[in-house]
């Protein structure tokens, strides 16, 4: 009998990471893939990125509307509630053998909570990482404890998951599946990318990927310094849309306002995985607080200026320059990133997040793990009492 594996994707960001695992699961003769699409994928404001999934001919089992058109933390909380109601009916009827989740978006708590109550085993990708400046950090750890199979990106992440009292046989170091694009996807040439994006790379370009800092009450507080710094650089500015978190609308307005006075700037609502990776290959610097500047940019030895608190604690390669949320400090880091000395220091660097073979490792475990009550029952280690 085929093994039914349900996978949840909530945004363009996690779909980029899930692309090759989804492709391989869809092609596997012993898997009945059930892709569940929700969140910002179905939002016109965030580019209606479900169209990219449909264009790639990945079969979609269900589309669930749950994202509130809000710019507050209350809206985020209510979005989870709506998602839980829809997922309870869907997963209750579907009853997959396994549910695959990824990373640390708050929406992922909804399918995890539903699966837990329905006794559906959960597999989780990218646990054990750290991002102290976002609620993602707590979400990631919660998903780890709710899951039964783990796929980590690095050796340190695997050790951290095991230190959370997860049995070692459950924890597999697979690498970050987003890196599989570098090995398996054909990236666009500069000419092809210019045609797709309708812009020229005739001058240095900075890619800006900046998201709300969800651990602090004013989630866009640190952005003042970033926009002040960016207003002082002469490079072409290319913005990616922020995540659909509290404060995202304000960040979009500020980006549009800054670009209004710069004829050569652009803001991209949604980029498919191959176009995004191709863009990383052509820009000169990445600036912001996205994990992409740490996890993916390293594969191109792309200088990255990581701003503020959001990614504090995350493992990084030597292409990353950290800057506090201070305009002068950010400008100094940008100048350093542009320097020939810094760029030459990156020659021969490797990406600690994997080798581009994550998908095959993930799919092998998902299709061979024995499905029995043992998978749901976790055994804790004995610990000495602490006074």
Q: Specify whether 39 is located in the same domain as 139.
A: yes
Q: In this model, does residue 57 exceed pLDDT 90?
A: no
Under 8 Å between Cβ of 18 and 41: no
Q: Is residue 209 part of a domain?
A: yes
Q: What domain range includes position 225?
A: 186-345
Tokens of residue 30, six digits: 């012993």
Under 8 Å between Cβ of 148 and 122: yes
pTM score over 0.75: yes
Q: Encode pLDDT of 89-106 as tens digits.
A: 999 999 999 999 999 999
In which band, very low, low, confident or very high, does the pLDDT at 383 lie, cut at 50, 70 and 90? confident
Q: Encode pLDDT of 221-246 as tens digits.
A: 999 999 999 999 999 999 999 999 99
What's the CATH number where 60 sits?
A: 3.40.50.2000
How far apart, in Å, are the Cα atoms of 148 and each of 151, 157, 374?
Answer: 10, 16, 10
Report the chain's mean pLDDT, rounded to a whole number.
97
Which residue, among 85, 81, 12, has the nearest Cα to 43 in the 3D structure? 12
Q: Is residue 325 part of a domain?
A: yes
Q: In this model, does residue 382 exceed pLDDT 90?
A: no
Q: Specify whether 130 is located in the same domain as 243.
A: no
Q: In this model, does residue 212 exceed pLDDT 90?
A: yes
Average pLDDT value for residue range 75-87:
98
Q: Specify whether 325 is located in the same domain as 365.
A: no
Q: What is the dihedral of CA 276, 209, 156, 370, to 10 degrees?
A: -50
φ, ψ for residue 279, nearest 5 deg:
-65, -40
Q: In this model, does residue 320 exceed pLDDT 90?
A: yes
Q: Is residue 387 part of a domain?
A: no
Q: Is residue 384 part of a domain?
A: no
Q: What's the CA gap between 188 and 276, in Å, rounded?
A: 10
Q: What is the dihedral of CA 275, 11, 302, 278, to 10 degrees?
A: -10
Q: In this model, does residue 387 exceed pLDDT 90?
A: no
Q: What's the CA gap between 55 and 326, in Å, rounded?
A: 42
Return the pLDDT at 381: 86
Q: Specify whether 102 is located in the same domain as 219.
A: no
Average pLDDT value for residue range 109-138:
98
Average pLDDT value for residue range 324-331:
98
Q: Specify whether 7 is located in the same domain as 72.
A: yes
Q: Encode pLDDT of 264-311 as tens digits.
A: 999 999 999 999 999 999 999 999 999 999 999 999 999 999 999 999
Q: What's the CA gap between 210 and 291, in Å, rounded?
A: 10
Return the pLDDT at 108: 98
Q: In this model, does residue 64 exceed pLDDT 90?
A: yes
Sequence-separated (6 or more) residues with CB below 8 Å from residue 158: 128, 150, 152, 171, 172, 173
In which band, very low, low, confident or very high, does the pLDDT at 83 lie, cut at 50, 70 and 90? very high
Q: Which residues pair with 99 in a beta bridge?
A: 6, 122
Return the pLDDT at 65: 97
- What total number of domains does the chain contain? 2
Return the pLDDT at 1: 87
């Amino acid at each position: 009998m085929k093994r039914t594996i349900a996978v949840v994707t909530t945004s363009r960001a996690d779909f980029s990471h899930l692309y090759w695992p989804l492709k391989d699961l869809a092609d596997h003769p012993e898997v009945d893939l059930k892709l569940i699409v929700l969140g910002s994928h179905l939002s016109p404001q965030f580019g209606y990125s479900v169209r990219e999934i449909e264009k790639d001919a990945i079969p979609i089992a269900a589309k669930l509307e749950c994202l509130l058109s809000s710019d507050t933390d209350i809206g985020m909380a209510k979005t989870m509630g709506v998602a839980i109601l829809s997922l309870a009916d869907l997963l209750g009827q579907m009853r997959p053998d396994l549910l695959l989740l990824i990373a640390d978006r708050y929406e992922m708590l909804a399918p995890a909570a539903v699966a837990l109550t329905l006794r559906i085993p959960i597999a989780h990708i990218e646990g054990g990482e750290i991002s102290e400046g976002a609620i993602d950090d707590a979400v990631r750890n919660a998903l780890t404890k709710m899951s039964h199979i783990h796929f980590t990106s690095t050796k340190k992440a695997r050790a951290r998951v095991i230190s959370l009292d997860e049995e070692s046989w459950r924890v597999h170091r697979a690498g970050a599946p987003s890196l599989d694009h570098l090995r398996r996807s054909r990236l666009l040439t500069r000419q092809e990318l210019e045609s797709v994006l309708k812009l020229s790379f005739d001058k240095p370009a900075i890619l800006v990927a900046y998201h709300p800092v969800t651990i602090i009450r004013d989630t866009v507080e640190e952005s003042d310094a970033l926009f002040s710094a960016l207003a002082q650089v002469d490079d072409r500015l290319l913005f990616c849309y922020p995540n659909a978190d509290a404060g995202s609308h304000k960040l979009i307005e500020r980006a549009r306002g800054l670009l209004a006075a710069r004829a050569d700037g652009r803001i991209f609502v949604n980029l498919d995985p191959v176009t995004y990776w191709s863009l990383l290959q052509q820009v000169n610097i990445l600036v912001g607080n996205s994990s992409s500047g740490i996890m993916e940019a390293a594969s191109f030895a792309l200088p990255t200026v990581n701003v503020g608190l959001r990614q504090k604690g995350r493992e990084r390669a030597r292409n990353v320059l950290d800057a506090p949320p201070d305009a002068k400090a950010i400008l100094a880091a940008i100048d350093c990133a542009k320097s020939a000395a810094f760029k030459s220091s990156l020659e021969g660097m490797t990406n600690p997040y994997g080798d581009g073979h994550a998908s095959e490792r993930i799919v092998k475990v998902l299709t061979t793990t024995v499905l029995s009550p043992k998978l749901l029952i976790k055994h804790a280690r004995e610990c000495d009492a602490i006074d």
